Chain A
Amino acid sequence: MSRFSLYEDEIRPSPWQHTWREFKSSHVALVGLAILLLFVFFAFFAPLVTPYDPLFQNTESILVAPSWHPNGSITHLFGTDALGRDLFSRIMYGCRVTFGTSLLVVIIAMAVGVSIGTIAGMLSGVRSSVVNHLLDALMAIPTLLIAIIIVGILGSGLVNSMWAITLALIPQFIHHTRTFVRAEMKKDYIQASTLDGANRLQIFYYSILPNMIEMLVVQGTLALSIAVIDISALGFLNLGAQPPLPELGAILAAGLDVGYLSPWNIAIPGIAIFLMVLSITVVGDGLRSALRKRVNR
């Protein structure tokens, strides 16, 4: 175009700016995001900000009360555990282990599940049904139970429990992706793209994926909260992370032994897990409604 165009000068908000604008309007979601960002910060920068080594056992200050307690001291913000390790540092590292591994598990499960689900959704007939209904049977069993069975076979340990939870999470991603892709393939705009000569990969990338983000956010956050609970549950049951490793579930289990002497050893890791799951759910919910409003308003 040789003419100068006024329209190009105006700033057009990108899809993500639209989403952020809608997301901001929900205060609950913003608070959830702040808490979640705190956990993300711990996950990435725990070694830089922790006051003590999480494994360092200070025998001279065992079971120190938290700082707000009359007997507590500010040197140990959340007090210490039965072996004299600083609880604040352990919680930070615990967030790193629990949240980081959950995130990793969900990303792997999502990548695998969405790929298989998309292939199953685009195929038709028996091949598609086989993939779907075989995994539907698995979906009837809670993920934690499947994870315990897999850990029982593989043996305990954090890495084994991660594999177990990944495998347990994949079926739900496959199921939801397949249902979504199948519904989408029937739409007129997919037919129009097919008439334009788009192959299946192009249809998926350019036409289906933009609409799938909302579903992915919902399923992703759901899976993330399940993964956090499962990893800490396995840690609590001594099937996942093994004791010296600071993992929130394992810290909780260790605190149980001295629960009557120092209840904060149970309460604080418990609150950390609770806040983590809550903030993930709240942010996921806010993100979903923001994405929905973006394409409906």
Chain B
Amino acid sequence: MKQVLDVSGLTFRHSSKKRWLKKPEIFSLGPIDMQVTKGETIAIIGQNRSGKSLLAKMLAGAVEPDEGNIHLMEEKYWSVRHRAARKNADITGIRMIFQHSSESMNPGITVGQILDEPLRLNTGLSDAERKALIADTLVKVGLLREHIYFYRHMLSDGQQQRVALARAILPEPKVLIADEPFAALDPTIRSQTVNLILKLQQEMGLAFIFISHNLGIVRHIADRVIVMDGGQIIESGKTETIFRWPQHETTKKLVLSYQSLIPQQTLR
């Protein structure tokens, strides 16, 4: 198995110094180490304010870590702060689906223009090639070709989620990061989206890291689970191991709250 993503010592801390007119923030994250192999699915679970979204944003490069490095295919992955370094690097290796898919779609431009952007900026394809690729990708995520003419307000939540997915997978990334991708969807659409992502993952061999509060889905699709609390990884391991033999107190609570809905199984 090949290692795609290698994260070492990732740390984030708000400045604890008390500044003029500014309260000191006490939240800090990390240090976090994790390795992701090709085609692997990793779930990040934990309570609110445990630093899950921040970790996802740091992995995607949207937030600059204070310490630590992210290596994608043994090359350093730079955050948006390093504009010059990103110019020459492969920045489409890690793609992110934001928490609210509707807010990550620009209301003023069409779906076609939204999807065109990552290609226009990162590939040397001609207009016609880009258009064809966008149309194919839309079909791939279960939309129609004509959706390129649609605006955000014409699409339902599930369709917006698909557009966000299409935007993420267009430049053929190695790693896909999603922040609660299934939260706002009803069970039917949710299963469809889960199956769609699993199918795409098989086809493209991408590693999928996602945050979820829905432990049913986590147990269903994740290979490994990372449990976070207070900005630290408190437990990680194979999904079945975590669910059957949780070690940490918080993990036990999380799993119990899920298990209590399914009374057949008891904790050992």
Query: CB within 8 Å of B: which residues of A?
Result: 1, 5, 7, 10, 12, 187-189, 191-199, 202, 206-207, 210-211, 213, 294-297
B145 in contact with A5 (CB, 8 Å):
yes
Q: Are the C-beta atoms of A199 and B153 separated by less than 8 Å?
A: no
Total residues of chain B contacting the partner, CB 8 A: 37
Q: Which 6 A-B pairs have the closest CB atoms?
A: A210-B108, A211-B108, A188-B104, A7-B146, A12-B149, A188-B103
Interface residues, chain B, with chain A CB atoms under 8 Å away:
60-62, 80, 83, 86-87, 91-92, 96, 98-100, 103-109, 113-114, 117-118, 121-122, 132, 135-136, 144-146, 149, 151-153, 167
Q: How many A-B residue pairs have CB under 8 A?
A: 73
| Inter-subunit contact A195/B117 (CB<8 Å) | no
A189 with B135: CB separation less than 8 A: no
> Contact between B113 and A206 (Cβ–Cβ < 8 Å)?
yes
Contact A196 B121 (CB under 8 A): yes
Q: Within the complex, what minimum Cβ distance (angstroms) separates B121 from chain A?
A: 5
Question: Which of A1, A10, A189, A199 counts the most chain B CB atoms within 10 A?
Answer: A189
A10-B146, A197-B87, A210-B109 given; A189·B122 CB < 8 A: no
Query: Quick check: A295 and B121 within 8 Å, CB to CB?
Result: no
Chain B residues, Cβ within 8 Å of A196:
91-92, 117-118, 121-122
Contact of A195 among B96, B99, B109, B151 (CB under 8 A): B96
Report if A189-B144 is in contact (Cβ < 8 Å); known contacts: A194-B80, A197-B122, A206-B117.
no
> Given A7-B145, A192-B98, A296-B153, A197 and B121 touching (CB < 8 A)?
yes
If A10-B146, A191-B98, A297-B153 touch, whether A199 touches B83 (CB-CB below 8 Å) is yes
CB distance from A230 to the nearest CB of B (A): 32
Q: Is the interface of A mostly helix, strand, loop or mixed?
A: helix
Q: Is the CB of B103 within 8 A of A187?
A: yes
| Distance of A187 Cα from B82 Cα, bound (Å) | 20
- Pick the most buried of A7, A213, A296: most chain B CB atoms within 10 A of its CB: A7
Give B5 Cβ to nearest chain A Cβ, in Å: 16
A109 to B250 alpha-carbon distance, docked (Å): 60
Contact residues in B for A189 (Cβ distance below 8 Å): 103-106, 114
User: What are 6 A-B contacts with C-beta separation under 8 Å?
Assistant: A10-B146, A192-B167, A195-B60, A195-B80, A196-B117, A197-B86
Q: For A206, give the chain B residue with the smallest CB separation.
A: B117
Specify which chain A residues have a CB less than 8 angstroms from the CB of B98 in the assembled complex.
188, 191-192
A14 to chain B, nearest CB (A): 9
* B145 CB contacts on chain A under 8 angstroms: 5, 7
Residues of A contacting B60 in the complex (Cβ-Cβ under 8 angstroms): 195
Which residues of chain A have C-beta atoms less than 8 A from B107's C-beta? Answer: 211, 295
Which chain A residues border B144 with CB–CB below 8 Å? 7
Q: Which residue of B lies closest to A18 (CB)?
A: B151
Which residues of chain B have C-beta atoms less than 8 A from A187's C-beta?
103
In whole angstroms, how far apart are the Cα atoms of A127 and B117 in the complex?
30
